[in-house]
Chain A
Amino acid sequence: MSARIETAGAAAATCGACSSSCNTSQLTRLGIKSGGWDYVVALMGNPNTGKSTIFNSLTGLRQHVGNWPGKTVARAEGAFNYNNKKFKMVDLPGTYSLLSTSVDEEVARDFVLFGRPDVTIVVADATRLERNLSLTMQVLEITDRAVVALNLIDEARRNGIEVDERALARDLGVPVVPMSARRGEGVSELLSAVDNVAQGAYPTRPRRIKYRDAKLEAAVAALAAQLESAVGGLPNARWVALRLLEGDESIIRAVRDGTLGELGRSDTAVNLTQLGAS
Chain B
Amino acid sequence: MTLNHLGVGQIATVTGVHSRNAERRRMFDLGILPGTIVETVMRSPLGDPVAYRIRDAVVALRHEQAEMIEVQMENGATPAEATP
Name A's B-contacting residues (CB within 8 A): 96-97, 99-101, 127-128, 130-131, 134, 247
Contact B56 A96 (CB under 8 A): no
Q: Which of A100, A101, A131 contacts B56 (CB 8 A)?
A: A131
Apart from the given pairs A99-B29, A101-B22, A131-B56, 15 other A-B contacts in the complex at a CB distance below 8 Å: A96-B29, A96-B30, A97-B25, A97-B26, A100-B26, A128-B55, A128-B56, A128-B57, A130-B31, A130-B55, A130-B56, A131-B30, A131-B55, A131-B57, A247-B21
In the bound complex, CA of A96 to CA of B22 (Å): 13
Q: Which residues on A sit within 8 Å (CB–CB) of B28?
A: 97, 134
Contact B29 A100 (CB under 8 A): yes
Q: Which residues on B sit within 8 Å (CB–CB) of A101?
A: 22, 25-26
Name B's A-contacting residues (CB within 8 A): 21-22, 25-26, 28-31, 54-57
In the bound complex, CA of A101 to CA of B22 (Å): 7
In the bound complex, CA of A167 to CA of B61 (Å): 34
Q: Which residues on A sit within 8 Å (CB–CB) of B30?
A: 96, 131
Most buried by A among B29, B31, B54, B56: B29
Can you show 11 pairs from A to B with CB atoms below 8 A apart?
A97-B26, A97-B28, A99-B29, A100-B22, A100-B25, A101-B25, A128-B56, A130-B31, A130-B55, A131-B30, A134-B28
**Least Cβ–Cβ distance between A276 and chain B, in angstroms:** 26
Q: Which residues on A sit within 8 Å (CB–CB) of B21?
A: 247
In the bound complex, CA of A127 to CA of B25 (Å): 24
In the bound complex, CA of A127 to CA of B56 (Å): 8
In the bound complex, CA of A177 to CA of B1 (Å): 42
